[in-house]
Structure 1
Amino acid sequence: MKKIIIFLLFISLSSFGAEKLVSSNSELKEAIKMAKPGDIIIMANGVWKNTEILFSAKGTKSQPITLKAQEKGKVTLEESSNLRISGEYLIVKGLVFKNGFSPTSEVISFRKDSKTLANNSRLTEVVIDNFNGPERYDVQAWTILYGKNNRVDHCSFINKRTQGVTLIVRLNTAESVENNHQIDHNYFGPRQNLGSNGGETLRIGTSHFSMMNSKSIVEYNYFDRCDGEHEIISNKSGQNTYRFNTFFECKGTLTMRHGNETHVEGNVFFGNGVSNTGGIRVINEKQTVINNYCEGLTGNRFRGALTVMNGVPNSPLNRYVSVKESKIEGNSLINCDHIELCAGSDSERSAIPQTTSLSRNLFVSNSPKMFGIFDDISGLSFDKNIISGAIESPSKKGFTSKDIKLIRNEKGLLIPQGKELGAGAQIANFANRENTGVTWYTSLTVDTPFDSGNKIEVNSGLNTLYEAINNSKPGDILILTDGTYSTSKSIEIPHTLSIISNNKAKLLFETKALFTIVNGGSLKIKGLHIDGEEAPDGPLNSVITTSKYSMNKNYKLFIEDCDFINLDVNNYFNVLRVAPSTFADTVSIKNSTFENISGAVLALNRESDDIGIYNAETVLIENCSFKNIEGAALDLYRGGTDESTTAGFLNVAHCYFENVGLSKKNKKGTSVSLLGVQNANIENSIFKATAPLDFILTVGEPINIIHHCQIEDSQILNIEGEGFENHNNSSEIKIGDDNKPVGLLK
């Protein structure tokens, strides 16, 4: 009897496996090497630097092998670290990747090599936070799924900043096709605007393998301000399901880019009126879009709340297969700006949608122009759709106009009050911030707002500003008194910082640049008088420059009520000079003057490889004076034909330009040069004796407008491409479209 009990006890303990606590890389490798089904390998609390884990083992369905943190969140992999998973029935749990980046092209990979994949394995409660390399456009994914029947759940992917998709499902071998992967209850975001293609948050497949089926399920995930590019989710394979996910203020869409038989159901999109927020984009065949909810989305064209694309006849795999045999049913689109039908129609994308139905959808808007129709919609059928009274129906059939009153239900969704309409979404459950990601981790990577720190008074004198900036903290406001501030040392801006003066403090500098915005920095200056008379007698000086090295974090620059004079000690003296691989979310200049400058004022033109990369997203210039500028007042360049980004936004209002861009050293010979800018508006301004204005419209469906400007009859406008508008401009105009005098406002 005693022998039987001992034997049963042995069998029982064996079935549970052994626990092994490891404290070093060598111990970890040995524990993995010796692991048997049911074993649990525990990484000791602490910082694991330069740790490349190969978790290669074989568990069973009833006895998986687990690699986990001793305590969740207290095991961090830092510096040059990564994780490869290969084998069967493996679980990784509770690890954090931060303060470094992977030495390879992925942080976590579900394979050892191209022939040794992971199957039936799980990544759960793992964090990757700001684990980015220094080079903005070096491609690196954070997690790549290979093999079959793997799951990624309750993970947090935070602050992806460099090129490369956050999470990828690959189908590049037969062993990864029809993989049945599960991606659920994860938190993604925020992800800044990359300013390039390759900023997707999730991609399943590629165009090359897009006719293969993946059968992956993506459900109950929360996408928080994922703004990397147009495609938040890029579906590029067949028979995938996206359901009950939430998209919060994301500047992009769930895009069925390639692949057929995609099922999109029960997803929720909250735009909250944020610019360029989008919903669902339909491309390819046999797609199903049912019971989704979109509210407050402002995006247009490829970022519409609902976009049904035109296709390319006999499309190659990497272009646009036309929409056919698809169903868009029972969706709610509430207070969204744009529903785009036959979007992208042009000489190439001429294949209209066919045999596709839109039925029992609910459209509510105060704008009559909610629907945009860009081609023949005869291939779309409409039935039992409801529109609110203000909306102009896109079809004589299939739409009923009703007076709709909305109330917000217990789930936070707007629904019609009163009698059931028989249209719109009814979603019981969907992802929220509380039921996604890990619950035990708070990211320390935060964007500090301007003016959120301490106010610090800085006395005038030599290098007093330099010392104050070196001692400042994120969000601080440096207040300059009257007098002169001279600097003989290069000043770096390493974080968010404001420098203001109520008495037009004078700044002189003896360095090649007064301020250098380095990675992590953003700058606001207000009320300063900046004089370049003491700058070094050499070319290519600037008042503000970015780091000459790649910056993986976007910056902001705000200039208000400042004067810039005597930037002419030598040639090509700019106000702002940027480097490649740097990107500004916003450059804003208001109520400022620029006079006697030998270079350009804003030179945002250093991404000249014509591959769709550019230097600034939003440029705002209001109530500014430009006189005697040898270069251009503005050079904004976005080359290439890639359509994955918004390609920039420009607004120039109530400005005065005189003797700008006329120097023989100005190689472009322009006063304002815009290439590839998607949205440009120049209004209520005066141009007097300036070089030509260039508008070169290239990618997508750009809109560049100049209107209500006082322009001399001899002023030249160079126009290339379609989408340019020129109206209400003359040498005699005095009043703008806002009923205020054109030019500078007092």
Structure 2
Amino acid sequence: MNHSNNNTSSPRHWLFTQLLVLLMLCTPSIYVQAKDRFVTTQTEYKQALKLVEPGDKIILKNGTWQDFEVLFMATGTANAPIELTAETKGKVILSGQSNLKLAGEYLQVSGLVFKNGSTPSNEVIAFRKSKTQLANHSRVTEVVIDNYSNLDRQESDYWVSLYGQNNRLDHNHFVGKRNVGVTVAVRLDSENSQQNHHRIDHNYFGPRPILGSNGGETLRIGTSHYSLTDSFTVVENNYFDRCDGEVEIISVKSGKNRIQNNVFYESRGTLTLRHGNGNIIDSNVFLGNGVEHTGGIRVINRDQTITNNYLEGLTGNRFGSGFTIMNGVPNSSINRYHQVVNANINHNSFINLEHIELAAGSDSERSAVPLDSKLNHNLFISPTAPFTLHDDISGLSFNDNLSNFATKTLSPFMAKGIRSQDITMKRAANGLLYPSDANFTAYGASKKLTPTLKQDTGTLWYPKAEPTVAFQSGNTINVSANDDELASAVERAKPGDILLLSDGKYNISRILAINKTLTFKAANAHQAMISFERPSLFEIQDNGSLQLDGLFITGLNSPDAAGNSVVRTRKWGMLTNYRFEMTNSIVEQLNVNHSFHFFDSGSRAFADSINVSNSQFRHISGDLFRLDKETDDLGIYNTEYLILDNNQFDDIEGAIASVYRGGSDESTFGPHVSVTNNEFTKVGQGKRNKTGASLKLHGVQMSQIEHNKFNNSAAIIVEHTVGEPQTRITHNQFTDTPSPQVTELVVIGKHTADINNNKVQKL
């Protein structure tokens, strides 16, 4: 047999062997050395981190990792990044005092969930270990931060801070930030974090509750200090779902950023070009659906381009309007308002916006009007012209725009540049409205615009749940007037449940803690009579909301002590917003001692709404609604909405409501107070009523007091502060009651309140 072909010493075999060795040497090490390092404890994680090589993956065991401050510091390569991930995405929970810091090159984190706690540092996720140890070319993807908020709502932290360069934040789920601080911030505080070219894409920014103060931005790129520095950050294909923290949803404070293809859904506030030049705002969709204070784009600074955006159904005004071009400050300092110069605003669709504000903010300081700016080929659709001109706008050039409303009442050069036509609008397959006439297709946003879908953002494995539980959405629990049965029912009830009270007398011996959404409803109106032996009947706590329907509440069995209340919040430091509703109920005999109040808010407690209707209050020695605890004048307040409609107030020694918002900050929309169709008899005249008023409103932004009857009562006292407050006091009857008193505490001159068609008479 001939074995010549198997001769291992042949030249041919030697050459093959050498080529194989060379190929192995040239092959990336990932194919040879990459390891999955499964860890079950924090100690094992630290050991694994010391051993990782490019291409390795550290896998955290499923379960809850309590108080885990993760430092992910390593160096991967472009072809072989180092990964930190979960055994099963969504099954690794970081809770308590946990956070994550990335430092190094080519790192990737995925699959983690932060909830049931808060960060012990300034950030939940930081793309750096220290000021000199940053992350570059790194990625955080499919990570969830869910209600991971500091228990002190005024203690600031960020959820994500991007430092370094060329990092990516994508397909993450952020929902429920409740304390002060930006949800996601791009930091430019060193040269190594500037001109960073970060990419923020396909994230789900879920509902952010109203903060009730400054500091509630969802995304901020830069700060005023570095605002003349370029960032080159791209923000694209994100979904901003009811991001209501404050007036700025996105705050751009740097240059050369691109914000494109994002959707803003029913979000109160605006995309604000607050500082920085040369930004591009392209192909974004703003859908307000008529929700109050929904806004669009606010333009400030130089060389901004706003093109191919679609804005529909936005109701906001002033700095939160559907579209705003600001006045600037001459020779502005870096942290104020720089003049709008060379803005290019073209091919945008402005559909049913209640307000478009031009030269907004004009005052003695902000006197630099917009210059050298162009508005071309835009589409304006509205029942009437939505424009408000606050100053000279001759620096805005309108050319070849289209509208469906008459333009004769506009300034001449606006009328010349906006052509009025009969336009029929039709909703296209992408869900947006366009003119049905093909001759108008050159105006407004392109039909090729594809709105980012909610389901295409965030993770596939974490639900996008509703942020609040609706009243009366659960089961009905029947309750009788037996001893302690009501208290027992409260403890076992689930969020959304209805406690249906049968007829009878209920004497409650403990304070009922409301830490979920509950309704107390009488089976027959006013036949469930409730008295209570403790200083309060209800205490609203975190996660609690309270609805009362048809009850009869009396203070006859309450302690003989000053300062009782029927409803109170925690005395200090609530984190979650709450709701209070009351209808068709009677409250009386809160007078066993002085200063017996109905509703008393603690400091740092915040109500989304307090709504009382069709109810009777009588013989009360204190105030009804004490919403005035934030007197440190930091722009903080206790409720967004107070609504009193069709109630009767009789023999109330204190004020019906005292609402306070102090300070000079202009980044919030509230408080709002609506008092309509009520009857006040002998209200506010008690010697301990420190307000001296039947209604005392300080710094309230929007007040509506209409169609009420005041008999033998103290005056309405309104004190205007900042923010161009709107007060309307009309069609009221004042009998043996002083006329309303309105004072301007900031603006010099006559007050701006609308006080008309009231009847004042003395018997």
Counterpart AA for 1:661: G
TM norm structure 2? 0.93
Question: Partner residue of 2:760?
Answer: 731
Counterpart AA for 1:20: R
Question: Partner residue of 1:76?
Answer: 93
Question: Partner residue of 2:402?
Answer: 386
Counterpart AA for 2:297: I
Q: 2: distance between equivalents of 1:214 and 1:13?
A: 33
From the superposition, tell whether residues 444 and 707 of structure 1 become closer, same or farther in structure 2 (CA, over 3 Å): closer
Counterpart AA for 1:424: G
Aligned equivalent of 1:457, options 478, 482, 487: 478
Task: Single out whichever of 620-629 and 456-465 deviates more from structure 2.
Answer: 456-465
Question: Partner residue of 2:334?
Answer: 317
CA contact 2:423–2:437 (8 Å) conserved in 1: no
CA contact 2:308–2:444 (8 Å) conserved in 1: yes
Q: 2: distance between equivalents of 1:171 and 1:300?
A: 31
Q: 2: distance between equivalents of 1:630 and 1:508?
A: 21
> For 1:319-354, what per-residue CA distance to the aligned partner results, in whole angstroms no more than 9, with x for missing partners?
211211111111001122111111122222222111
Question: Partner residue of 1:627?
Answer: 650
**Counterparts in 2 of 1:251-262, with a 5 A limit?**
251-262=268-279
| 1:555 equivalent in alignment to 2:582 | no
Q: 2: distance between equivalents of 1:415 and 1:637?
A: 45
From the superposition, tell whether residues 713 and 468 of structure 1 become closer, same or farther in structure 2 (CA, over 3 Å): closer
| 1:423 equivalent in alignment to 2:460 | no
Question: Partner residue of 2:455?
Answer: 434
Question: Partner residue of 2:419?
Answer: 400
Q: 2: distance between equivalents of 1:651 and 1:321?
A: 36
Counterpart AA for 1:649: H
- C-alpha deviation, 1:596, in angstroms: 1.3
CA contact 2:239–2:452 (8 Å) conserved in 1: yes
CA contact 2:209–2:245 (8 Å) conserved in 1: yes
Q: 2: distance between equivalents of 1:503 and 1:342?
A: 54
The DSSP-based 3-state class of the residue aligned with 1:307 is strand
Aligned equivalent of 2:294, options 267, 277, 290: 277
> For 1:701-742, what per-residue CA distance to the aligned partner results, in whole angstroms no more than 9, with x for missing partners?
111010011113751422112421110011369xxxxxxxxx
> For 1:521-566, what per-residue CA distance to the aligned partner results, in whole angstroms no more than 9, with x for missing partners?
1011011111011111111110000012422211100010111111
Q: 1: distance between equivalents of 2:306 and 2:525?
A: 59
Question: Partner residue of 2:682?
Answer: 659
TM norm structure 1? 0.96
Question: Partner residue of 1:492?
Answer: 513
- C-alpha deviation, 1:9, in angstroms: 5.2
**Counterparts in 2 of 1:168-183, with a 5 A limit?**
168-183=185-200
| 1:193 equivalent in alignment to 2:210 | yes
CA contact 1:253–1:280 (8 Å) conserved in 2: yes
The DSSP-based 3-state class of the residue aligned with 1:616 is coil
CA contact 1:327–1:357 (8 Å) conserved in 2: yes
Counterpart AA for 1:423: Y
Aligned equivalent of 1:60, options 61, 77, 81: 77
Question: Partner residue of 2:390?
Answer: 374
Counterpart AA for 2:432: L
The ranges of structure 1 where at least 4 consecutive aligned residues each deviate by more than 3 angstroms after the TM superposition are 1-13, 390-394, 443-446
Question: Partner residue of 2:9?
Answer: none
Q: 2: distance between equivalents of 1:119 and 1:19?
A: 23
CA contact 1:130–1:445 (8 Å) conserved in 2: no
Counterpart AA for 2:525: N
Question: Partner residue of 1:691?
Answer: 714
The DSSP-based 3-state class of the residue aligned with 1:92 is strand
**Counterparts in 2 of 1:706-745, with a 5 A limit?**
706-712=729-735, 715-721=738-744, 722-731=751-760
Q: 1: distance between equivalents of 2:616 and 2:102?
A: 59
| 1:224 equivalent in alignment to 2:241 | yes
Question: Partner residue of 2:492?
Answer: 471
Question: Partner residue of 1:740?
Answer: none
- C-alpha deviation, 1:461, in angstroms: 3.2
How many residue pairs match? The answer is 732
Q: 2: distance between equivalents of 1:347 and 1:595?
A: 49
CA contact 1:86–1:118 (8 Å) conserved in 2: yes
The DSSP-based 3-state class of the residue aligned with 1:420 is helix
Counterpart AA for 1:417: S
- C-alpha deviation, 1:485, in angstroms: 0.8
- C-alpha deviation, 1:7, in angstroms: 7.6
Counterpart AA for 1:415: Y
CA contact 1:129–1:443 (8 Å) conserved in 2: no
| 1:588 equivalent in alignment to 2:588 | no
- C-alpha deviation, 1:13, in angstroms: 7.2
From the superposition, tell whether residues 445 and 388 of structure 1 become closer, same or farther in structure 2 (CA, over 3 Å): closer
Q: 2: distance between equivalents of 1:444 and 1:720?
A: 45
> For 1:44-71, what per-residue CA distance to the aligned partner results, in whole angstroms no more than 9, with x for missing partners?
2222121111011111222211111122
Counterpart AA for 1:482: D
- C-alpha deviation, 1:610, in angstroms: 0.7
From the superposition, tell whether residues 528 and 714 of structure 1 become closer, same or farther in structure 2 (CA, over 3 Å): closer
The DSSP-based 3-state class of the residue aligned with 2:73 is strand
From the superposition, tell whether residues 10 and 70 of structure 1 become closer, same or farther in structure 2 (CA, over 3 Å): farther
- C-alpha deviation, 1:694, in angstroms: 1.1
Counterpart AA for 2:494: K
> For 1:181-217, what per-residue CA distance to the aligned partner results, in whole angstroms no more than 9, with x for missing partners?
1111111011110111110000011111111111111
**Counterparts in 2 of 1:531-680, with a 5 A limit?**
531-680=554-703
Question: Partner residue of 2:173?
Answer: 156
CA contact 2:296–2:321 (8 Å) conserved in 1: yes
Question: Partner residue of 2:11?
Answer: none
Q: 2: distance between equivalents of 1:237 and 1:332?
A: 26
Question: Partner residue of 2:501?
Answer: 480
From the superposition, tell whether residues 443 and 331 of structure 1 become closer, same or farther in structure 2 (CA, over 3 Å): closer
CA contact 1:713–1:730 (8 Å) conserved in 2: no
Question: Partner residue of 1:44?
Answer: 61
Task: Single out whichever of 24-33 and 245-254 deviates more from structure 2.
Answer: 24-33
Question: Partner residue of 2:108?
Answer: 91
| 1:704 equivalent in alignment to 2:695 | no
Q: 2: distance between equivalents of 1:194 and 1:630?
A: 32
Question: Partner residue of 1:527?
Answer: 550
Aligned equivalent of 1:166, options 174, 183, 186: 183
CA contact 1:691–1:716 (8 Å) conserved in 2: no
Q: 2: distance between equivalents of 1:152 and 1:596?
A: 59
| 1:15 equivalent in alignment to 2:30 | yes
Q: 2: distance between equivalents of 1:411 and 1:93?
A: 31
Aligned CA-pair RMSD: 1.7
Q: Which runs of 5+ in 2 are unaligned?
A: 1-15, 745-750
Q: 2: distance between equivalents of 1:582 and 1:352?
A: 40
- C-alpha deviation, 1:254, in angstroms: 0.3
The DSSP-based 3-state class of the residue aligned with 1:30 is helix
CA contact 2:222–2:252 (8 Å) conserved in 1: yes
- C-alpha deviation, 1:296, in angstroms: 0.9
Q: 1: distance between equivalents of 2:737 and 2:121?
A: 57
Q: 1: distance between equivalents of 2:77 and 2:125?
A: 22
**Counterparts in 2 of 1:208-223, with a 5 A limit?**
208-223=225-240
Counterpart AA for 1:459: S
Counterpart AA for 2:676: A
Q: 1: distance between equivalents of 2:596 and 2:415?
A: 61
Counterpart AA for 1:593: Q
| 1:510 equivalent in alignment to 2:527 | no
Percent of aligned positions that are identical: 47
Counterpart AA for 2:721: T
The DSSP-based 3-state class of the residue aligned with 1:632 is coil
